[in-house]
Amino acid sequence: MQLNPFDTSRRSAIEDIYLEAFPPEERRPTDDLFGRAQRADGMLRLLVISDERGHTAGMLSYWQFDTFLYVEHFAIDSAMRGRNMGAQAMAEFIRTAGCPVVLEVERPGANEMADRRIAFYKRLGFAARTEIDYIQPPYAPGLPSVPLLLMAAGPGCGQLDIRSAADTILRNVYGA
């Protein structure tokens, strides 16, 4: 498994994974995602997860902030799930981050998949941060807001001011 910066030759494969993994209310328009990821001065970064043969296996988009990294989207190709690749990729991302890593998940009890996803992240060292009631604003007009839970892991995670991190995410990622 490898994590590499996005290059345009992988766009089609990444776009397929992205559109299959996330419902419309949980994703930004693809042109926005890829456009932001290609700007050298942008805060949004996109990594390609590749298997041992170099095939595109997944994607991880994240925002680089001063005191933490925010994982906006993380998905493994449905045909490659169940091979521990997602756990390996996220563990490597956390290991190399050098600061806390924050992500959003559906709230516990939302559905069976949400509970499985929360358990997956807990196994990787993420802890639910329940001090705030977090709601993801809509990505586009006409889409609903989504009540979510913030989780954090990595070095310095215990000292992370989650309220400040949430404000940073809402302001920079969602323009709220």
What's the chain's Rg over C-alpha atoms? 15
pLDDT given at position 176: 77
pLDDT given at position 110: 78
Segment holding 132, helix H or strand E: strand 127-136
pLDDT given at position 171: 95
pLDDT given at position 113: 85
Ranges of the chain with pLDDT below 50 = none
136 neighbors 145 (Cβ within 8 angstroms): yes
Structural domains counted in the chain: 1
Instruction: Find the CATH number of the domain harbouring 74.
Output: 3.40.630.30
What is this structure's pTM?
Answer: 0.94
- The fraction of the chain above a pLDDT of 90, given in percent, is 76
Domain that holds residue 118: 2-172
